[in-house]
Amino acid sequence: MKFNKDTNILIIGLGVIGGGYATALTKQGYTVNCITKSQSTVDYAIEHGMVSKATTNLDEDLIRQANLIIFAVYPNVFIKWIKDNQHLFSPGTLITDVTGVKGSVVDEVQSILRSDVEFISAHPMAGRESSGVEYSDPEVFKGANYIVTPTAKNTKEGIEACKKLGEVLGFAKISELSAEEHDKMIAFLSQLTHCIAVTLMTCNEAPNLEKYTGDSFRDLTRIAKINDKMWSELFLLNKPALLEQMNVFINEFSRFKDLIEKGDEEEMRATMRKATARRSLFDKPKA
């Protein structure tokens, strides 16, 4: 499948990410339909001109017409949907997703999928701490990373189409990783940080702390407003990589604690200088 202006796009799941995709693609003149869970989302999407057609039903026509189907649902919902409904795809359909872990999703979907359709997995590294279509906004894709995780089962054409989708959505950097590299990276950059933010919010319940907080604490806990269902699923699907990164963090945190305990100012300062230097690599590129 080549991705071009005639591509008929179906989005399954119109939440904060699916909604952003729909708005971005519709604005650029693509035909975008959607199947989603709740009628209020359907109403919102139609009212805001985000999609051509939207329904809560398993609309066989919409599925059959689609050349590109984007799953923007929880990983377990995605896998079950494929099992239950893949007989409805037209031959040659390209399937992609937005799932935050890959190892336990890509292999399973590719192994159960019909051989006349292709699944190419991608992870848009952008989100919001609130869920639901009304919080969707394609602006969050600008300046953000979009990672494609192809396997030996993918075609060159499928990979290209998936990358083209990332470009059209406005992502700043499109890259390729293996599912394993992706999951290791995401365990550190995203899952570990969510575990830390949640812990900061639950480890100290002293009253009135909010009256004295500064921006540092606010920044470190912004993502502690978390979709508990989705993230517990993501954590468990990536358990070995996440546990490894949590241990790596605990070890270094304990080392730094020991330095403070010993009053080893020299080594504390060396660690902080290293952190300062390394952090500058992670500055957001100017849009």
The interface with its own copies within residues 257-286 (CB under 8 A) comprises 257, 260-261, 263, 265, 268-276, 278-284
Instruction: Looking at residues 139 to 158 of the shown chain, list those that interact with its own copies (rule: CB under 8 A).
Output: 144-145, 147
Q: Which CB atom, from 9 or from 127, has the smaller least distance to its own copies?
A: 127
Residues 6+ apart with CB under 8 A from 118: 1, 93, 94, 95, 153, 154, 155, 158
Choices 22-30, 39-47, 51-59, 213-221 (CB under 8 A): range interacting with its own copies:
213-221
How far apart (Å, rounded) are the C-alpha atoms in residues 105 and 131?
A: 22
Q: How far is the CB of 171 from its own copies (least distance, A)?
A: 11
Nearer Cβ to its own copies (125/168): 125
- The least distance separating its own copies from the CB of residue 160, rounded to whole angstroms, comes to 20
Q: CA 167 to CA 147: how far, in whole Å?
A: 11
Can you tell me which of 13, 127, 158, 170 binds its own copies, judged by CB under 8 A?
127
Measured from the Cβ of residue 112, the count of other Cβ atoms closer than 10 Å reads 12
Question: Which residues are paired to 149 by β-bridges?
Answer: 121
Q: Is 189 in the site for its own copies (CB under 8 A)?
A: yes
Q: Of 234, 103, 105, 104, which Cα lies nearest the Cα of 95?
A: 105
Q: Six-digit token pair at 117?
A: 């359709």
Query: Which of 196, 241, 286, 287 forms a contact with its own copies (CB under 8 A)?
Result: 196
Question: Nearest distance from residue 48's CB to its own copies, in Å?
Answer: 24
Q: Which is nearer to its own copies, 91 or 263 (CB)?
A: 263
Is residue 135 part of the contact set for its own copies (CB under 8 A)?
A: no
Give me the least distance between CB of 66 and its own copies, in Å please: 28
CB-wise, 86 or 193, nearer to its own copies? Answer: 193
What is the x/- site pattern for its own copies, positions 219-258, by CB under 8 A? xxxxxxxx-xx-xxx-xx--x--xx-xxxxxxxxxx-xx-
With CB under 8 A as the contact rule, the residue among 77, 113, 125, 168 that binds its own copies is: 125
Nearer to its own copies, 68 or 73 (CB): 73
Q: Could you say which residues in the range 33-92 bind its own copies, by CB under 8 A? A: none
The CA distance from 36 to 44, in Å, is 11
For the record, the structure tokens of 34 come out as 């959607």
Within 156-175, the residues that bind its own copies by CB under 8 A are: 173, 175
Please, which residue, 37 or 128, has the CB nearer to its own copies?
128
Contacts with its own copies by CB under 8 A: the residue count is 89
Q: How far is the CB of 251 from its own copies (least distance, A)?
A: 7
Instruction: Quote the CA–CA distance of 32 and 211 in Å, as a whole number.
Output: 46
How far apart are alpha carbons 102 and 182 in whole angstroms? 7
